[in-house]
Structure 1
Amino acid sequence: MLYLLIILAAVIVYGVYNWLRQRRIVKTLSQEEFIAGYRKAQLIDVREPNEFNAGHILGARNIPLSQIKTRIKEVRPDKPVYLYCQSGMRSGQAAQMLSRKGYKDLSQLKGGFKQWTGKIKAK
C-alpha cells in the first residue's frame, strides 16, 4: 500500500512539474489573441493528417506531433510559432520539443481546434 502511495505521489509531482514547465515555455492564447497574431507567425497544426484534412484553421501547415522531430527544419526559429491541436495537449508537447531545440516565441490556442469558431478549410 505504501508503494502505491509513493508511486501515486511521484506521478502527481511529475504532472505538476510538466504543467508548470509548459506554462513557462508556451503562451496559451484566447481565440481573439490567436487571431490577432497568427498571420504574422508560422501557424502549425500538430494533429494527424486525417484530422487536418477533416478541417483546419485557414493558412495552417500540418506537421503532426508524431513527425515534429524529423520535420523540425520546416519550422523557422526566427519567427513566432503558433501551434494548435484538437484540445491543447499535443500542441503543448510540440512546444516543449521545439523549446528544447532553441525555439523561443511559442504560442498555442487555448482549448485547441474544438474551441475554434473562426474560418476553417476542409479537404
Structure 2
Amino acid sequence: MNYLPGTASLIQEIDKKLLVVLRDGRTLIGYLRSIDQFANLVLQYTIERIHVGKKYGDIPRGVFVVRGENVVLLGEIDIENEDKKELQQVTIDEILEAQREEQQAKQEEEKAKNKALRERGLQPHIDNVTEEFM
C-alpha cells in the first residue's frame, strides 16, 4: 500500500463507515461517498449522534455535505465492535431534553463563576460573559 499525501489519503476511506467530529462539537456517522482537494466530504446514510453522560440518541440526517475546514476528527468505525458499546440508546426527544438540561446547567455554572470573579474584583474572560452582563 502506497502512502498518499494530504487529503488524497482519504481516498482509501471511500465507502467506509466513518465518525466525523465537527468544529461546533457535533458528531456525525455515515458512509463516505466523495471527497475533493479541500477535504470536503459527502456522507450518505448520515446520523447525528448526541451524547449526554452514558446515553446517546441518533438523529437521521441522510446525505450530508461537510466542509473540510469544519472537520476536527475523522475515523473509521469498526463494524464488528460497533454494537459493543457501554452507552444506552434513548429516543431523540429524550436525548434532546437531556442535552438542553446539560447546557442549562453549564450556563448556570458559568454565571456563578462570573459572579464570583466580579465579587473578587476580577473581570471574567470576554468569552465567558453572558448577555446578562453586557
Q: What range is the shorter-chain TM-score in?
A: under 0.3
TM-score by length of 2: 0.22
TM-score by length of 1: 0.23
User: Greater RCO between the two (CA within 8 Å, min separation 6)?
Assistant: 1
Q: Which has the higher strand share?
A: 2
Q: Which has the higher helix share?
A: 1
